[in-house]
Structure 1
């Protein structure tokens, strides 16, 4: 019975892990709509030093898209629902 909760929480952990992969993108150098005019910025070096996994590929997408927020909120909502179910069962036990 409790293994069902393990499966649910494992899927939740996978969702958070996937979300982190998509938010671990460095937008530095992506000025609003046009990038940045500074030619001497080494974005790869900065991303490595700041601990980012990858660089943004499109400046407009990097500075204007907020889908990562909704993705996190959806994952958090599902996780809270599963934890609520578990808490209810523990209370009724």
Structure 2
């Protein structure tokens, strides 16, 4: 399955087969991450924007991305983004 430039806004954007594929890949990445650092996501950027305060979730996402060699762009909260003006992420 190809997800190039597929932005995740809602789980409703995915079919059941796509969700199964993502979860299967996540399981493989989990075992890779447990073995130490990797560069499998080198050159990739994860942008985070949370609508509700969520320290544990934010830290989990950031830690996973960094362990797999990627970078994280933390956009803060909805109050510090243009979402507050009514703009959508899509």
Q: Is this a same-fold pair by TM over 0.5? A: no
Larger proportion of helix: 1
Bigger share in strand: 2
The structure number with the bigger radius of gyration is: 1
